[in-house]
């Protein structure tokens, strides 16, 4: 299955005050559906590739957009995209608006989950974020989606 809409990716750090945790999601731009996500204690490319491969098992985009982070420019990350003929798009340096949909996801994750939770461990963060992404995909209505959930819109197209 191939989607014509771009997929988006952008890692964030410091989800926990007491430990260093990085979150990496892969997201369908038009449905807002979070296809996969991973947590890691480093920003190494391997955990980003894990999130990417997990998302690619479900379906495949025509375009994959990221920022210019070193993990996304690595041959390890680009290899599965190139092997499938997926066009690679990278934001201009310092232009968060190029990837506005994933930045909006970060706002939701931070204000609806991270800022109201006090993760003491990576295990706690994982457990809480797992519940949040189930909620985000299946229960959270989006005005931009005509008050449908990301799952409703995503699976309507598959």
CATH code at position 26: 3.30.420.10
Q: 154-157 — which CB contacts under 8 Å span 24+ positions?
A: 154/28, 154/31, 154/33, 157/3, 157/31
Quick count: other Cβ atoms within 10 Å of Cβ 118? 11
pTM above 0.85, yes or no: no
pLDDT band at 1; cut points 50, 70, 90: very low
pLDDT at 110: 86
Domain count of the chain? 1
**41's tokens:** 């204690």
Q: What is the mean pLDDT of residues 60-70?
A: 81
On whether the CB atoms of residues 29 and 6 are closer than 8 A, the answer is yes
pLDDT digits (tens, 9 = 90+) for 70-96: 788 899 989 999 999 999 888 766 665
CB atoms within 10 A of CB 144: 11
Identify the domain containing residue 129 by its residue range: 2-157
């Amino acid at each position: 299955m191939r989607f014509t809409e771009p997929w988006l990716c952008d890692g964030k750090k410091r989800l926990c005050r007491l430990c260093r945790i990085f979150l990496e999601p892969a997201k369908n731009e038009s449905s807002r559906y979070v296809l996969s996500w991973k947590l890691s204690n480093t920003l190494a490319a391997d955990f980003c590739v894990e999130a990417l491969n997990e998302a690619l098992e479900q379906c495949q985009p025509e375009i994959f957009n990221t920022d210019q982070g070193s993990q996304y420019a690595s041959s390890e990350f680009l290899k599965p995209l190139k092997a499938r003929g997926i066009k690679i798009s990278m934001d201009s340096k310092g232009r968060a608006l190029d990837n506005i949909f994933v930045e909006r996801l970060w706002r939701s994750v931070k204000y609806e989950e991270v800022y109201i939770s006090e993760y003491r461990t990576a295990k706690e963060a994982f457990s809480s974020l797992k519940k949040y992404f189930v909620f985000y995909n299946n229960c959270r209505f989006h005005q931009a989606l005509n008050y449908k959930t990301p799952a409703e819109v995503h699976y309507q197209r598959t």
